[in-house]
Amino acid sequence: MSLKPWREIATPHKDVLAGTFKQSEFAADITQVANGEAPSEYQGAQQFYARTYITEGMHLLLESVAQRLASQGGDPVVQLQTAFGGGKTHTLLAVYHLASRSVPTSQLSGIPPLLDEAGIAELPKARVAVIDGIKLSPSQSRTYGQQTINTLWGELAWQLLGEAGFEQLADSDRDGTSPGKEILTNLIRQAAPCVILIDELVAFIRQLEIGKQYKAGTFDSNVSFIQALTEAMKSVPNAIMLASLPESEIEAGGTMGKRALEALEKYFARVESVWKPVATEEAFEIVRRRLFENPGDRAEVEGISRQFSDFYRKHAEKFPLETQSNEYFERLTRSYPIHPEIFDRLYEDWSTLEKFQRTRGVLQYMAIVIHRLWNTDNRDALIMPGTLPLDDSNVRTKSIHYLPQGWEPVIEREIDGSHSVPFEIDGHDTRFGSVQAARRTTRTVFLGSAPAAANQAVRGIQAERILLGAVQPGQTVGVFEDVLKRLCDRLHYLYSEQDRYWFDTRPNLRREMESRKQNISDRDELQILIKSRVTRVFGRNHHFGGIHVFTPSVDIPDDYGTGPRLVVLPTHAAYSRGENNPAFTDAEKILYNRGDQPRQKQNRLIFLAPDFDVVSRLKEQGRIYLAWDSIAASHGERSEGW
């Protein structure tokens, strides 16, 4: 069975194919949806669920929401607190569409079996209030018809019950004081069944300077409101509140953000039910649904995955142990047409970078990659780390967006592109070029090592993972092992230690060696080294009356001695098979003359000349040795031999 290219099996969504997507469209905006202004993929409940993979965490949450609205239990307050880009807003949207019931639940993909499991025959339609901390301003009032609203609680009351709801706490809204638990309980009970969705709450409250009065109230009054609201939710069996909080102090933003987060966590902790974030395995399906309209016929997908799995088992000693299990075959099938190694590196390594938004970041990156691969007619069986087109300006820009300065020239010179060393290596050796071994290898090393922190105890990516990210079934593993050695000899920013390899923006010792090599003096250093080593080769030889290495004619005796004398000619007097033969010229000068005097005992000399074809390589290796030796000397370590 041949390896069919991924592009002949899977079909990306039209916006990915055309490159018309916008990065902002990957960022779900709950306020836009509530106002009816969002893109269709988020605005339409049916379309939203068609592209949404219900993860384990989302399944549990939606089940709890459904039970709560049906007065069959469930949690009154759910705190969504995960890492940046962990899918909080997307989950809020799933709850919004489930509760608002713009279409029957039977038309929402994945919902009917969920309701059956929860034992809910009919889900009541609920009122939904959306409080977005980024869209609201503590200093700016909002006008609805004839009504002016200042506070979060005023906004909540208006969204739940309109004019009648707002009138119940109009005084508190005007004064900027919390309405208290009792009033909020009555309000929510009248609005029930209802859902309150609060996004980016810390972003709003951190703007309230301590001791200062705003139209939206004070820091303390807003925190008191949240406390009263969370307590009120427990009293109404068919009402639920979901609020998103940042996971780290960095995301909270500044001193006030940290203080706001600490205060809110204290009150949410009393009644919260923390949402389970997206697992890496679940992310496979999330990304697949968003990027691919059709991931491929299952039989064909399993066929390709089986070939990869069998290939890894056939060469078990070359690939990670995890690839030998049937579970890895399942991973290949679930992630098709993207290789699991891409997900592993992005979710395990790149997600550790500040501001990299897990699922959203992966979606943005892979959308750009797939668009480029599709337009360049990529024929790989899977989209692998070695497939990433880092020579493309858009892909390269996105790849280094979250990295420190200095990566762009490294990619251009040593990883990918028409002027890079890997491109040159692939172009000069058909073994490598036929499978793009050098470029596929450097791309894989980059993906696996670029986001690593400099203070990590263990740097880099293992050779077995480089092979996993670069080699496809039917290709020779040894070719990629050979090219990795070639790259280590040529690249200045590629580091290796034992079985691990990584790129860095700082040049490795090879770059320092190359620099020192250029400054080696041919006469004062190189010739002295070569003469010393040639002399050492002959040692104490008793077959000749004397051995003269690179010796001027005047210093070579003209006598019978105890035997013939061996004259070793210097590197510039090499033997050539061509018409011009420097060895003959220099030998004749010594043979016929001893300095300014004619030589009498000419038949007592035997000449040994270097081979013209290898002299340049000898000199190059000599310069390399001297350069490395000087580096070792500068670190207190001197090489012992050459």
Structure tokens at 267: 């009150």
User: Which two tokens mark 204?
Assistant: 């709003």
Where do we find the tokens 């080696």? Answer: 520
Sign for the pseudo-dihedral over CA of 370, 371, 376, 379: positive
State how beta strands 142-144 and 147-149 pair.
antiparallel
Whether residue 74 contacts residue 265, with contact meaning beta carbons closer than 8 Å, is answered with: no
Q: What is the pLDDT of residues 2-11, one digit of tens each?
A: 799 999 999 9
pLDDT > 90: percent of the chain: 48
- Give me the pLDDT at residue 319, please: 97
**Whether residue 272 has pLDDT greater than 60:** no
Locate 393 and state its tokens. Answer: 């300006």
CA distance 170 to 157: 9
Closest CA to 201 of 156, 157, 159, 246: 246
Cβ 286 vs Cβ 358: under 8 Å: no
| pLDDT per residue as tens digits for the range 394-429 | 999 999 988 888 999 999 999 998 999 999 999 999
Q: What are the backbone dihedrals phi and psi of residue 420, each rounded to the nearest 5 degrees, phi first?
A: -90, 160
pLDDT at 456 over 60: no
Rounded CA-CA distance 388/440 in Å is 8
Q: How many CB atoms sit inside 10 A of residue 362's CB?
A: 25
Q: Is the pLDDT of residue 371 over 90?
A: yes
Strand locations in 171-266 (E): 194-199, 239-244
Q: Is the pLDDT assigned to residue 77 strictly greater than 80? A: yes
The predicted pLDDT at position 642 comes to 46
Residue 251: its pLDDT value, please? 58
* Closest C-alpha among 501, 410, 370 to residue 12: 370
Per cent of the chain over pLDDT 70 is 91
Asked if 372 and 392 count as a contact pair (C-beta separation under 8 A), the reply is: yes
Convert 286-352 into a string of H (helix), E (strand) and C (coil): HHHHHHEEECCCHHHHHHHHHHHHHHHHHCHHHCCHHHHCHHHHHHHHHHCCECHHHHHHHHHCHHH
What's the pLDDT tens digit per position in 285-330? 878 888 898 889 999 999 999 999 999 999 999 999 999 999 999 9
Q: Is the pLDDT of residue 378 over 80?
A: yes
Is pLDDT above 60 for 637? no
* Most confident residue range from 113-127, 184-198, 242-256: 184-198
Give whichever of 93-97, 117-121, 380-384 has the largest mean pLDDT: 380-384
All structural domains of the chain: 56-268 (3.40.50), 289-513 (no CATH), 522-615 (no CATH)
CB 176 within 8 A of CB 214: yes
197 pLDDT more than 50: yes
Judge whether 203 and 133 are in contact, CB under 8 Å.
yes
Q: Is the pLDDT of residue 21 over 70?
A: no
User: Average pLDDT, stretch 364-388?
Assistant: 95
Higher pLDDT, 638 or 487: 487
pLDDT at 270 over 60: no
pLDDT of residue 232: 94
Considering only residues 630 and 25, tell me which one the structure prediction assigns the higher pLDDT.
630
- Looking at every residue in the chain, the average pLDDT score rounds to 87
Q: How far apart, in whole angstroms, are the C-alpha atoms of residue 192 and residue 619? A: 87
Q: What is the mean pLDDT of residues 357-381?
A: 89
In the prediction, which pLDDT does 83 show?
A: 44
- Please state the rounded mean pLDDT for residues 182-207: 92
> Is 357 or 229 the better-scoring residue by pLDDT?
229
What is the C-alpha end-to-end distance of the chain, expressed in Å?
Answer: 51
Q: Is 632 left (phi over 0), alpha (psi -120 to 50) or beta?
A: alpha
Q: Before 237, cis peptide (omega within 30)?
A: no
> In the prediction, which pLDDT does 84 show?
38
Task: Please give the pLDDT value at position 24.
Answer: 44
More confident residue, 322 or 637: 322
Residue 222 to residue 525: CA distance in whole angstroms: 78
Burial of 624 (0-12, 13-18, 19+ CB in 10 A): middle
Residues 6+ apart with CB under 8 A from 364: 23, 26, 357, 398
- 618 Rama sector, left if φ>0, alpha if ψ -120 to 50, beta otherwise: alpha
82 pLDDT more than 60: no
Chain segment 514-564, per-residue pLDDT in tens: 778 888 888 888 998 999 898 888 877 667 888 899 999 999 998 887 788
State the DSSP H helix or E strand holding residue 641, giving kind and residue range, or none if neither. Answer: none
Q: What is the dihedral of CA 487, 490, 496, 501, to 10 degrees?
A: -40
Report the pLDDT value the prediction gives residue 390, as an integer from 0 to 100.
95
Within its chain, how far is the Cα of 270 from the centroid?
Answer: 38
- Exposed/middle/buried for residue 635 (C-beta within 10 Å: 0-12, 13-18, 19+): exposed
Q: Is 64 helix (H, G, I), strand (E, B) or coil?
A: helix
For 524, which DSSP code?
Answer: I
Q: Are 79 and 273 in contact (CB under 8 A)?
A: yes
- Distances from the Cα of 319 to the Cα of 306, 387, 440, 467, 468, angstroms: 16, 18, 16, 7, 6
CA–chain centroid gap for 86, Å, is 16
Using alpha carbons, list the distances in angstroms from residue 368 to 333, 361, 363, 414, 478. 22, 11, 9, 22, 32
Burial string for 70-108 (b: 16+ CB within 10 Å, else e) reads beeebbbbbbbbbbbbbbbbbbbbbbbbbbbbeeebeeb
**Two tokens at 16?**
């990915």
Quickly state the pLDDT bin for 38 (edges 50, 70, 90).
Answer: confident
CA–CA gap between residue 301 and residue 308 (Å, rounded): 11
pLDDT digits (tens, 9 = 90+) for 142-192: 999 889 999 999 999 999 999 999 999 999 999 999 998 999 999 999 999
Under a CB-based contact definition with an 8 Å cutoff, are residues 351 and 452 in contact? Answer: no
- What is the rounded CA–CA span in Å between residue 487 and residue 321? 25
Per-residue pLDDT, 2: 76
